[in-house]
A and B are shown apart, each in its own frame.
Chain A
Amino acid sequence: MQGIGVGGLAALAPSWLHAADTLARDDGRILVVFELSGGNDGLNTVVPHGDDAYYRHRPTIGIRREDLLALDDHYGFNPGMLGFERLWRSGDLAIVHGCGYDNPSYSHFTSMAYWHTGVPNGGDEFGWVGRLADALDPGGAPNFLINVASSQSLAVKSRLHAPVVFDDPERFRRKAFASTRAAIDGLPEPGDGGNAARAYLRDVARSAREGAKLVRAAWSRYRSPVDYGIAPLDLQKVAACIDGGLPTRLYYVSFRNNSFDTHVQQPALHQRLLSYACDAIHGFVRDMERLGHGDRVAVMVFSEFGRRVPENSNLGTDHGAANLMFLAGKPVRGGHYGVAPSLTDLEEGDNLRASVDFRRVYATAIDGWLRSGRAETVLKGRFEPLPVFS
């Protein structure tokens, strides 16, 4: 009756055993994927101040060397990125330069869908994080995959798992009188009558029942003295779930609403957005260490594209191509990875040429960090992991 729904497969004993086996083998390692929506301007994030071409392309919005948080004699962080500067200094931050894909799309929605599915210039019914969940746990165990969001991301759409999607943990509950609650929870599971939307809603209802109590309990127990900055960007919720002992291995959160789409009046806005993101991620990493989970949690940061190399005439930047990715956390070997694209040999349309297929970074998370050995299946092709976790 429930087709490819969650519950049916989860009941099979071999799948459970397999899941337990996987958990034991990899110490319950956790991956948190953090999305910067809108197309973060990588060039004004990690600024190549040692390259004069940068200042030629960006005479107005280029960030002066003395204003940067210097990393070395070539790069400096945007002045809003105190959080990342601290992670960098403690060796907990990997910067991957030049991430992208061939024939880049300059559409937010198309490019984001490529990143969400891990299938550039194509797409897929399921997201790469959803497929990763299916590969790690074919049993479809409840609460394996959490997406803190107001609506589910394509990235977590899964064949075998019903992702637990919530926004505010305190509101993640059915408000109801005891008699109503008992009546609703006691109702039978009807068939879907061949109505796929009805079957989907039934799957969601099941996931809600199974996840809500755990998430709320974890959130109510969680207290932290760590400063996540003005906008914690859902990472405190993730911290609460991890510390609350949820079986969740994959988390997906986002800096929402296309915020990084800085066509106009970019500098002050971009600095502020970066300060929020970096403060929150820095706070999260330190919080994990404080709570004793530092060794089993890694964060991956991406955006759907970078921005065009030359500034536009509105103190902003337009949609571009290759971009930076970040991996953060105690298990990370800090440093520069990948190859920074040239600022003089640009692609048509004044864009950076991708030097690292972004799926290599996904593979780094899947095989390098989670040690699943399933990257090739999940990503539908072979992508060499980067030595960030070795």
Chain B
Amino acid sequence: MDGRVSDRFASVIAAFGLTVAGLTVAGLTVALPAWANGAAGAGDLTPLPAAAWHEGHAAHLLERAGFGGTPEEVERLAALGLEGAVRRLVYFDGVPDEAVMPEFDHSGVFDPGLDPFPPSRPATTEAAKANGEALGIKVKPGGNRPIQPVVNAFFYWLRASRLETDRVAQWWAGRMLATPRPLREKAALFWHGHFATNEDKVRDYRKMLRQVELFQEHGLGDFHALLVAVAKDPAMLAFLDAGINVKGSPNENFAREIMELFTMGPGNYTETDIREGARAFTGWNFRGTEFAFNAEDHDEGEKSFLGRTGALDGEDVIAVIMEQDATARFVAARLYRYFVRDELDPGLADALGTRLRELDFEIAPFLAMLFSSRDFYSPASVATRIKGPVELVVSTYRKLGLAELPGVPDFNVVTGVLGQHLLHPPTVAGWSHGRSWVTPGLLFERGNFVLDVVFPDIAFVPPDRYPAYGQQILAVHERLRSGMDITAATMPAGVDTGEDAMAASNLLADRDEAFNTRYGSYRGWQMAIERVKPIPRHTARLDLAGMVRGAGLATPREVVDYLAGRFLSVPLDEGTAAGLADLLSGELGTDDVETAATWLEDPLRVLLHALLSLPEYQLG
């Protein structure tokens, strides 16, 4: 982070400090005991007094500005004091320059003919019929299924891009786990949810990767610049159909979402603003992984947008959006909800908007302000946030002290089951946070994830090799190898084939004889796994016995208290702690930890599974 922003941070702190010093109330607060400083303060954006800072605050800060950490990391952060800890996490003060994280390692799955990729399989085969080739592959002059190689290539890229995107997610999660700059990744994760883009529609892992790198690089910088960069980002352009937004027939998708979801929120603009805004963005397109402005598609005419009239282009529209009060309030509230807590009243939202505007929409100093505030350390904020799936998984690994992301369980499967498959947000609105992360089914799954970490599933099947979720592909595979022809091998399985009982979707599946979709789907999978590099599949290497013995714990109850303190953000109640101590005691066969030194590991794993299955573990 450059000096300019750091200096601004110092002056912001100084300015707030002066304000506080001028108030009688602040003088009184300092006189109160340390615990009372934390008890009040909800909604108070003035800084926590330096004297009130303690290790619990450091743990909370590391949880929110990163993905939590080991007791040793928390201790080191606490030793820096409030300002030092915030500067360390927000501006990376004192983080060695050489601590850079590895770049993504491409498998090399892309072929030039795949770009531009048609919007659908029918569009691909229509193009092949019309032009005699598609995706860089020519139609066969004769023989059965002359378009089949094109269809195979279509499915190859669908599979390969998807699998490679999972490798991007795996790489990103590895950075979240190992980075000494966790806020960079946490902010990127926030922006990924804010500017949600899904590979299912983009169908190009290169664009997805580029977007993640944009968030990593600029996620703590100037929001205006970030917004322009996102508006020109090929993944976003592809996702919101901006690429087909042309003069004479504006497509409103991007113009609508940029106002509704990215900047202002509903109710602050009209349908006319959306139509006029869409005109301003006409001609914004992409070529491969680069932004491209097609001047001949751009509507040069006069537009009237949020009270401004002129020959506006996309950047003008963004500049107008940035001037709206609603934008500062909306973006500040989104950041607040993610990093502090779900509930905020309109008065606080206004105050936050004003702060963000005063800071020229610079994200880092805004977050530093939040992370320094009494509000952030008040009971209303501490341990009241339900961790998202990615945070849950990454912070579990961090608190276990792992340096590398395990390949078993599969990161993408686990987070997908828990509702947050990276680079596949469910809609353009991103993930709904807070309570929606946890349902009865998902609460079980969160505990099941912990079981899979402490006692790995030996029946694990790598989903990037074996089409575990593609029963149809497997059925085709088996039948082809048993000697069936392609038509017979690709008949839908397990269906009563009587005319009336057979569902319409099954009748439809295989009607074009120029090619066979199901065969293409099968062959595409084979072609993809040949070229996509496998994800390494080591399990988590744990040493809970070493952890517990290193902490010098003597009794089951001490072990429970230690692990609860290490992993949970809320104190355990007496009854639960006692019940868990009984569980450990039973597994150990003794109440003396030292006696059990040589068989400590498995009982500790049983205990950890129970502890991290508690509803309380979901809070951060």
Interface residues of A (CB under 8 A from B): 80-83, 86, 105-110, 147, 149-152, 162, 164-168, 171-177, 179-180, 183-184, 186-188, 190-191, 193-198, 200-202, 204-205, 207-208, 211-212, 225-231, 256-258, 263-265, 268-269, 271-272, 275-276, 278-279, 282-283, 312-314, 318-319, 349
Nearest chain A residue, comparing its CB with the CB of B383: A195
A90 → B minimal CB distance (Å): 12
A172 → B minimal CB distance (Å): 5
Nearest chain A residue, comparing its CB with the CB of B123: A265
On chain A, the residues within 8 Å of B613 by CB distance are 174, 176, 180, 184
Query: Is B34 an interface residue when CB atoms closer than 8 A count as contact?
Result: no
On chain A, the residues within 8 Å of B426 by CB distance are 150, 256-258
Query: Is B347 an interface residue when CB atoms closer than 8 A count as contact?
Result: no
B596 → A minimal CB distance (Å): 16
Bound complex: CA A72 to CA B253 (Å) = 36
A350 → B minimal CB distance (Å): 11
Contact of A201 among B260, B419, B502, B615 (CB under 8 A): B615
A156 → B minimal CB distance (Å): 10
Q: State whether A204 touches B417 (Cβ < 8 A).
A: no
The list of the 10 closest CB pairs from A to B, nearest first, reads A82-B504, A166-B441, A165-B439, A208-B440, A313-B249, A201-B615, A190-B573, A229-B503, A188-B575, A279-B503
Q: State whether B432 touches A151 (Cβ < 8 A).
A: yes
Nearest chain B residue, comparing its CB with the CB of A167: B441
Q: State whether B616 touches A198 (Cβ < 8 A).
A: yes
Query: Is B384 an interface residue when CB atoms closer than 8 A count as contact?
Result: yes
Which of B167-175, B184-192, B393-401, B579-587 lies at the interface?
B579-587
On chain B, the residues within 8 Å of A83 by CB distance are 503-504
Q: State whether A349 touches B610 (Cβ < 8 A).
A: no
Bound complex: CA A153 to CA B417 (Å) = 17
Q: State whether B266 touches A105 (Cβ < 8 A).
A: yes
Q: State whether A151 touches B439 (Cβ < 8 A).
A: yes
Say whether, besides A151-B419, A151-B436, A197-B435, A108 and B427 are in contact (CB < 8 Å).
Answer: yes
Bound complex: CA A159 to CA B171 (Å) = 42
Q: State whether A107 touches B448 (Cβ < 8 A).
A: no
| 27 interchain pairs, CB-CB under 8 A | A80-B504, A80-B508, A106-B271, A107-B256, A109-B266, A149-B439, A152-B435, A152-B439, A165-B439, A179-B606, A180-B583, A180-B609, A188-B573, A193-B570, A197-B434, A204-B438, A205-B443, A227-B495, A228-B503, A229-B503, A229-B504, A230-B492, A257-B427, A268-B122, A275-B504, A312-B249, A314-B249
Nearest chain B residue, comparing its CB with the CB of A205: B615
On chain B, the residues within 8 Å of A176 by CB distance are 447, 451, 609-610, 613
Q: Which of B418-467 contact A (CB under 8 A)?
A: 419, 426-429, 432, 434-445, 447-448, 451
Q: Apart from A180-B606, A198-B616, A279-B503, what 17 extra A-B contacts exist at CB < 8 Å?
A: A82-B507, A83-B504, A109-B261, A147-B439, A151-B432, A152-B435, A171-B444, A174-B448, A180-B609, A188-B573, A188-B576, A190-B573, A195-B383, A205-B440, A227-B506, A230-B492, A275-B505
On chain B, the residues within 8 Å of A195 by CB distance are 379, 383-384, 570, 619
Contact of A204 among B443, B505, B614 (CB under 8 A): B443
A204 → B minimal CB distance (Å): 5
Q: Which of B558-597 contact A (CB under 8 A)?
A: 570, 572-573, 575-576, 579-580, 582-583, 586-587
Q: State whether B619 touches A230 (Cβ < 8 A).
A: no
On chain B, the residues within 8 Å of A231 by CB distance are 505
Bound complex: CA A85 to CA B45 (Å) = 61
Query: Is B120 an interface residue when CB atoms closer than 8 A count as contact?
Result: yes
Query: Is B21 an interface residue when CB atoms closer than 8 A count as contact?
Result: no
B493-513: CB near A (< 8 Å → 1, else 0) gives 001100011111111110000
On chain A, the residues within 8 Å of B386 by CB distance are 197, 201
Interface residues of B (CB under 8 A from A): 119-120, 122-123, 241, 244, 246, 248-249, 251-253, 256, 260-261, 266, 271, 274, 342, 379, 383-386, 417, 419, 426-429, 432, 434-445, 447-448, 451, 492, 495-496, 500-509, 570, 572-573, 575-576, 579-580, 582-583, 586-587, 606, 609-610, 613-616, 618-619
B496 → A minimal CB distance (Å): 6
Q: State whether B506 touches A229 (Cβ < 8 A).
A: yes
Q: State whether B419 touches A150 (Cβ < 8 A).
A: yes
Q: State whether B440 touches A212 (Cβ < 8 A).
A: yes
Contact of B504 among A150, A258, A279 (CB under 8 A): A279
Q: State whether A177 touches B606 (Cβ < 8 A).
A: yes
On chain A, the residues within 8 Å of B438 by CB distance are 200-201, 204
Contact of A174 among B417, B447, B503, B507 (CB under 8 A): B447
Q: State whether B573 touches A179 (Cβ < 8 A).
A: no
Q: State whether B120 touches A227 (Cβ < 8 A).
A: no
Bound complex: CA A263 to CA B501 (Å) = 33
Q: State whether B579 touches A187 (Cβ < 8 A).
A: yes
On chain A, the residues within 8 Å of B570 by CB distance are 193, 195, 198
On chain B, the residues within 8 Å of A174 by CB distance are 444, 447-448, 613
On chain A, the residues within 8 Å of B508 by CB distance are 80, 271-272, 275
Bound complex: CA A89 to CA B616 (Å) = 54
Bound complex: CA A187 to CA B611 (Å) = 11
Q: State whether B119 touches A198 (Cβ < 8 A).
A: no
B189 → A minimal CB distance (Å): 18
Say whether, besides A264-B119, A264-B241, A268-B120, A191 and B505 are in contact (CB < 8 Å).
Answer: no
